[in-house]
Amino acid sequence: MLSTVEKYDLVNKRWEYVQSMPAPRADFGLAVHGSTALHPQPALFVSLQIYAVGGKTFINSKGRHYDAWTPTCEVESYDIVKDCWKEVYHSRDLFWAVGVPMLKCRCAVALVPLDGYVYGKYNS
């Protein structure tokens, strides 16, 4: 589980760190070139934004050691031009946060951008 984000510099042929995600998680990944998502995990590229959706986080039920995974409802949006995670207004609950949480927590969710929306599906 991690919150760090790296990008690959095609010119210098090396990886470099960019702004970390606000919350660490596991079970997602992404490779982007232009406007095409190249990895079928729960993150995708839409209009110069990278959306990381769902995944798993550790829960701590026995003292200081993390001992179990739990699916997360988090949605995070990264602006690749400004190198920052973008806040989104939650109109239902009247607050600003990194993203609008999913109705049900999921990991290994499939996503597709279409007509300004991000659609997700999970086969349970």
Task: Give residue 46's pLDDT.
Answer: 47
Distance CA 7, CA 15 (A): 6
pTM of the predicted structure, to 2 decimals: 0.66
Residue 33 is predicted with a pLDDT of 34
Give the domain CATH number at 64. Answer: 2.120.10.80
pLDDT in tens, 43-75: 544 456 787 877 888 776 665 555 677 888 777
Domain tally, the chain: 1
112 touches 87 (CB < 8 A): no
Q: Does residue 94 have a pLDDT over 70?
A: no
Alpha carbon distance, N-terminus to C-terminus of the chain: 23
**By residue range, what is the domain housing residue 111?**
5-121
